[in-house]
Amino acid sequence: MLCVEGLQRPGLGPISLHIDDGECLALMGPSGAGKTLLLRAIADLDPNTGRAAAAGQARADTPAPDWRRLVAYLPAEPGWWADGVAEHFADRPAALPLLAALGLDAGCLEWAVARASTGERQRLALARGLAGDPAVLLLDEPTAALDPDAAVAVEELIRQRQQAGVSVLLVTHRAEQAERLASRTLHIRAGRLVEGGGS
Amino acid sequence: MTGYIELSYLDLVLAALLLLFNAVLSLVFGLQLEKRLLIAALRMTVQLFLIGLVLKALFSVASPWLVGLTALVMALFAGREILARQQRRLAGWWGYGLGASTMLLAGTVVTVLALTTQLRPEPWYEPRYAIPLFGMILGNAMTGISLALNGLSALAARERSAIEARLLLGATRWGALQPFARQALRDGFTPMLNSMAAAGVVFLPGMMTGQILAGVEPAQAVKYQLLVMFLIAGATGLGVLLAVLGSVWRLTDHRHRLRLDRLTGDLDAA
């Protein structure tokens, strides 16, 4: 469960939304409308005001590192702080099934990050973020750089997480992807949610 | 061998003629450095004569307050120098204050330690020892601190997505910046390590040479130089560490966010 109330920062909001356990909410809007700003604000990565709660825990009462483990934000362009892929995974054996589910072979842990393609990096980052079993996923165009097969694998993984009770906020440019995964679609324009799309 | 050869002003003028050679060089190759050369030489001459007068007056009074005041002024100038050597710096008073205060703290702690335990002049704040010692420590620690601060802010800005990736996986502000703070510490220590490694082989340290010219026994001059090098190493270590910790603290906030908006020249300041 993710509950956001009156979330606000320069260029965004106030925004309120609610996502149930196991629900996927799609967020669509033109470039620069504030989709990424909203995800960053929920993850508390930029200064913002307003309330948020996830899995029964209020953000204000949760230390920020714990909050971000609970509410995992996966940026469209993931960051890497070491040369090797393996250094980015705290628990490598636990990551293996995730990597396999995303169509990456087990040897990818031995790669250098620079060797991986954009799409491979996006999937590696997804596995990295999911490894900690977050209760809420904030996904910023998780399939943007992927070929169709890989995109199917990612969508399947998202669906599995939903069935396990994870709430998902999905930023996407593809209306058909929103239809496949989400029960509702919200539209954002100039930093505000606007009417349109599903219920 | 005791005593030293006194210099006359004519001697200095003759030596200064060498600058004319540089000026001709600049003109011939169109380096356009003549004016800056002239200004720098004049500035240096005036500054050094002034500090000579200040030291002469200070030595004759030997007041702890005046010694303290002189040290404070020196640290304030050092703070300005640190600021000028950084491309991206902390905005507002932090940019100046962090460099100046860590300088002052590290320089004072180490100088007072040396004065009270190793050199032990009478009184311990004797300006003839305190001021030159503080000045040498300050000058070297300054280089380390400015390199470390410059390195950290440049890294934080360039590695933003890497730092945020660490934060997003649940790292604290200290944990997320750790590899970059480590690199900045290394940047800060490098000149001190290099100068220790090269001292006596590649170059003769200025203070030691000065003492030898002034008639001091080389073995004694070497001991003094070693003392000063160790003090510089200690002050640089302390100053660089404090500056980097302070900078990490300011570049992040209590909600463990990276705050690049607190650096000057932020491209997407909110």
Residues B159-169: what's their mean pLDDT? 96
- Give per-residue pLDDT as tens, B214-262: 999 999 999 999 999 999 999 999 999 999 999 999 999 999 999 999 9
Note whether A121 contacts B: Cβ–Cβ < 8 A. no
On the question of pLDDT at B1 being above 50, the answer is no
Supply the mean pLDDT for chain A: 93
- The tokens for B17 are 């003629």
Pick from A9, A47, A79: which is nearest to B162 by CB?
A79
Note whether B177 contacts A: Cβ–Cβ < 8 A. no
Q: Residue B48: what residue type?
A: L
How much is the pLDDT for B33? 86
**CA A71 to CA A77: how far, in whole Å?**
18
Helix and strand numbers (H, E) in chain B are 9, 0
Nearest CA in chain B to A39: B168
How much is the pLDDT for B201? 85
**CB–CB of A78 and B165 under 8 A?**
yes
- The tokens for A176 are 């058909």
How much is the pLDDT for B85? 87
Residues B33-43: what's their mean pLDDT? 90
**CB–CB of B168 and A43 under 8 A?**
yes
Nearest CA in chain B to A131: B169
Q: Taking Cα atoms as reference points, which of A142, A131, A173 lies closest to residue A74?
A: A142
**CB–CB of B169 and A128 under 8 A?**
yes
pLDDT category of residue B267 using cuts at 50, 70 and 90: low
**CB–CB of B257 and A46 under 8 A?**
yes
Residue in this structure with the two tokens 């001697």, named with its chain if needed: B11
- Give per-residue pLDDT as tens, B197-211: 988 888 888 889 999
Residues B84-107: what's their mean pLDDT? 92
| Sequential pLDDT tens for chain A (199 residues) | 999 999 999 999 899 999 999 999 999 999 999 999 999 999 999 999 999 999 999 999 999 999 999 999 999 999 999 999 999 998 888 889 999 999 998 889 999 999 999 999 999 999 999 999 999 999 999 999 899 999 999 999 999 999 999 999 999 999 999 999 999 999 999 999 986 544 3
A24-28 vs A167-171, strand pairing mode: parallel
Torsions phi, psi for B256 (to 5 deg)? 55, 50
A169 strand-pairing partners = A25, A138
**Count of other CB atoms within 10 angstroms of residue A11:** 14
- Give per-residue pLDDT as tens, A176-198: 999 999 999 999 999 999 865 44
Q: Residue B85: what residue type?
A: R
ipTM above 0.90? yes
Distances (CA, A) of B12 to A39, A113, B23, B54: 68, 60, 17, 21
**CB–CB of B164 and A45 under 8 A?**
yes
pLDDT category of residue B111 using cuts at 50, 70 and 90: very high
Residues B134-153: what's their mean pLDDT? 94
Nearest CA in chain A to B257: A45
Sign of CA dihedral A84, A89, A90, A91: negative
How much is the pLDDT for B150? 94
A167-171 vs A136-140, strand pairing mode: parallel
Residues of chain B in contact with residue A82, where contact means CB-CB under 8 angstroms, are 179
**CB–CB of A129 and B166 under 8 A?**
no
Nearest CA in chain A to B178: A81
Q: Taking Cα atoms as reference points, which of B128, B115, B123, B133 lies closest to residue B74?
A: B133
Residues of chain A in contact with residue B156, where contact means CB-CB under 8 angstroms, are none
**CA A193 to CA A12: how far, in whole Å?**
10
- The tokens for A194 are 């606007």
**CB–CB of A44 and B255 under 8 A?**
yes
Q: Supply the DSSP string of B73-102, one letter for each residue.
A: HHHHHHHHHHHHT-SS-BSTHHHHHHHHHH
Note whether B60 contacts A: Cβ–Cβ < 8 A. no
Determine the Cα angle at B261 with ends B260 and B262, to 5°.
Answer: 85
Q: Supply the DSSP string of chain A, one letter for each residue.
A: -EEEEEEEETTEEEEEEEE-TT-EEEEE--TTSSHHHHHHHHTT-S--EEEEEETTEEGGGS-HHHHHHHEEEE-SS----SSBSGGG-SSHHHHHHHHHHTT--GGGGGSBGGGS-HHHHHHHHHHHHHTT--SEEEEESTTTT--HHHHHHHHHHHHHHHHTT-EEEEE-S-HHHHHHH-SEEEEEETTEEES-S--
How much is the pLDDT for A106? 82
Residues B55-60: what's their mean pLDDT? 90
**CB–CB of B169 and A132 under 8 A?**
yes
| Global pTM value | 0.88
